[in-house]
Amino acid sequence: MTRDQFMRELKEALDGRLPESDIAEILADHSEFFEAGLAEGSTEEEVARQLGDPAKIALSLLQRERIQEGPHDALHAQRTRIPKADILMRLTAFVVDALVPALPFLWFAPRTGLVSFFFPHIVLAIVPSWLSTVRVSSHRWISAARGFWEVAILLSVLWFLMVNVVFLWASRGQTLGKWMFGLRVVDRAGGPAKPAQLAMREIVGKQALNALCSLIWLPLGFLPALASLVWCAVSPDGMTVWDAIAGTRVVDGKAARRRD
Amino acid sequence: MDAQMKKGVLEMCVLHLLAGGPMYGYELMKTVQEAFPDVYDGSVYAVLRRLHTDGCAETFFGETSGGPTRKYYRLTDAGRKRLSEALEEWRSLVAAVRHLKVPV
């Protein structure tokens, strides 16, 4: 095998399986091995033979990375070893996280804001009437800058829908409420949760599910949260409805670090 | 060689070689492969990368006489500690095997 062949096969075997920067480093290292071998008078074929099969090299590197993330046989042990986050902390964090998205509404629609977590579709349904209020209002402040208030209302809705997801993405698993207590959303296996899982947890597991339930019958909007509270209290790893949907769980980051 | 056993022994050998002074990757790989002809396909390189990410070895770029710059690996204090732990473990393993009068 020539050097070019070797490098190409190694790159193909690693592409998409490791971070770009790691792959670049691995390729540079192997390129250097060829340089060193050639400088000692070996041929490209001899160096390639000595280095081994690129596919197997890639495999041993990938295995190593996987071991760092937590090998499969250690999954169960890890799951039970990570302490369950305290239920009161979870509940308080939940209340904070349910209110933060409603912050922009609390001053002009406090009642809607307070229950917006359970009935998210009401917020969306009410937006047109807020907008038309802004357009026709003769209030001095509003009539002076109608465009500003329209934008403000739309931004508030965007905030309502996305603030927790954005927090989760930016901090790799923490919302404001969770950050206060050092809680973190992780993968079921204990590894970092994927961005798609975090979005799934908030948008499908909370907003869409609550909207669906409350559209069927308004009080049903409380059901997922109540079910989650009970489930979280009795299950050994503090499960909730939205964690089940997203394949995640919440851990006490501080307790996990103390254990290490 | 059994994969788990090989991994531990290889790591110990690489740590020992590095304890003798900095070496560049290809040099290390060749030295280990001369002693263990059935070790190949990136095993030594994988050990090196692990030692580096674990903070047991640090890298620096140095020039060979007249040659191009190469990435050298050097043992850190954590690496020296890991080596002495590995040696201790290895010795107690050998002692246990000897105790059972396994002809080694």
Q: Give A29-98 as a DSSP string.
A: HHHHHHHHHHHTT--HHHHHHHH--HHHHHHHHHHHHHHHH--GGGHHHHHHHSPBPPHHHHHHHHHHHH
Write down the pLDDT at residue A251: 86
Query: A50 at the B interface (CB within 8 A)?
Result: yes
Tell me the pLDDT band of A220, cut-offs 50, 70 and 90: very high
Which of A30, A46, A69 is the C-terminal boundary of a domain? A69
Number of independent structural domains in chain A? 2
Residue A148 lies in a domain: yes
Residue with tokens 């640090």: B58
Q: Nearest-CA neighbor of A248 among A166, A189, A202?
A: A189
Per-chain mean pLDDT for chain A = 86
> Could you give the CA distance from residue A87 to residue A247 in angstroms, rounded to a whole number?
19
Residue A122 lies in a domain: yes
Examine the domain organization and report whether A102 and A227 are in the same domain: yes
Examine the domain organization and report whether A92 and A184 are in the same domain: yes
Write down the pLDDT at residue A46: 92
Q: Nearest-CA neighbor of A17 among A63, A60, A62, A74?
A: A62
Residues of chain B above pLDDT 70, percent: 92
| pLDDT beyond 90 at A222 | yes
Please report, for residues A40, A189, A197, B6, the alpha-carbon distance to residue A242 in angstroms, rounded to integers and kept in the order given: 60, 16, 10, 44
Examine the domain organization and report whether A42 and A151 are in the same domain: no
Write down the pLDDT at residue A221: 92
Residue A75 lies in a domain: no
Residue with tokens 């002074």: B21
Residue A36: which of B26, B41, B43 has the nearest Cβ?
A: B26
| pLDDT beyond 80 at B82 | yes
| Residues of chain A with C-beta less than 8 angstroms from the C-beta of B45 | 29-30, 57, 61
Over residues A68-105, the pLDDT tens digits come to: 444 444 444 444 456 677 889 999 999 999 999 999 88
Strands of B57-63's sheet, edge to edge?
Answer: B23-24, B69-75, B57-63
Residue with tokens 């670090």: A257
Write down the pLDDT at residue A77: 43
| Residues of chain A with C-beta less than 8 angstroms from the C-beta of B43 | 60
> Could you give the CA distance from residue B62 to residue B22 in angstroms, rounded to a whole number?
10
Residue with tokens 């927790």: A164
Examine the domain organization and report whether A63 and A87 are in the same domain: no
Residue A35: which of B27, B45, B68 has the nearest Cβ?
A: B68
| pLDDT beyond 90 at B5 | no
Residues of chain A above pLDDT 90, percent: 50
Over residues A122-179, the pLDDT tens digits come to: 888 988 988 898 888 888 888 888 889 899 999 999 999 999 999 999 998 999 999 9
Residue A17 lies in a domain: yes
Examine the domain organization and report whether A28 and A151 are in the same domain: no
Q: Is B42 in contact with A56 (Cβ distance < 8 A)?
A: yes
Q: Which domain holds residue A50?
A: 3-69
Examine the domain organization and report whether A86 and A178 are in the same domain: yes
Tell me the pLDDT band of B13, cut-offs 50, 70 and 90: very high
Domains in chain B, ordered, with CATH? 3-99 (1.10.10.10)
Examine the domain organization and report whether A29 and A99 are in the same domain: no
Write down the pLDDT at residue A259: 45
Residue A201 lies in a domain: yes
Examine the domain organization and report whether A103 and A171 are in the same domain: yes
Residue A76 lies in a domain: no
Per-chain mean pLDDT for chain B = 88
Write down the pLDDT at residue A15: 85
* CA nearest to B26 within chain A: A33
| pLDDT beyond 90 at A209 | yes
Would the pTM of this model clear 0.80, i.e. be above it?
A: no
Which of A69, A97, A123 is the C-terminal boundary of a domain? A69
Q: Nearest-CA neighbor of A182 among A116, A254, A107?
A: A254
> Could you give the CA distance from residue B49 to residue A67 in angstroms, rounded to a whole number?
13
| pLDDT beyond 50 at A244 | yes
Write down the pLDDT at residue A241: 94
Residue at A70: amino acid letter: G
Residue B50: which of A29, A37, A64 has the nearest Cβ?
A: A64
| Residues of chain A with C-beta less than 8 angstroms from the C-beta of B64 | 39
Strand partners, B57: B75
In B47-86, the residues whose Cβ lies within 8 Å of chain A are 49-50, 53, 64, 67-68, 70-71
Ramachandran angles phi, psi of A98, nearest 5°? -80, -25
User: Predicted ipTM?
Assistant: 0.89
Tell me the pLDDT band of A65, cut-offs 50, 70 and 90: low
| pLDDT beyond 60 at A234 | yes
Write down the pLDDT at residue A217: 93
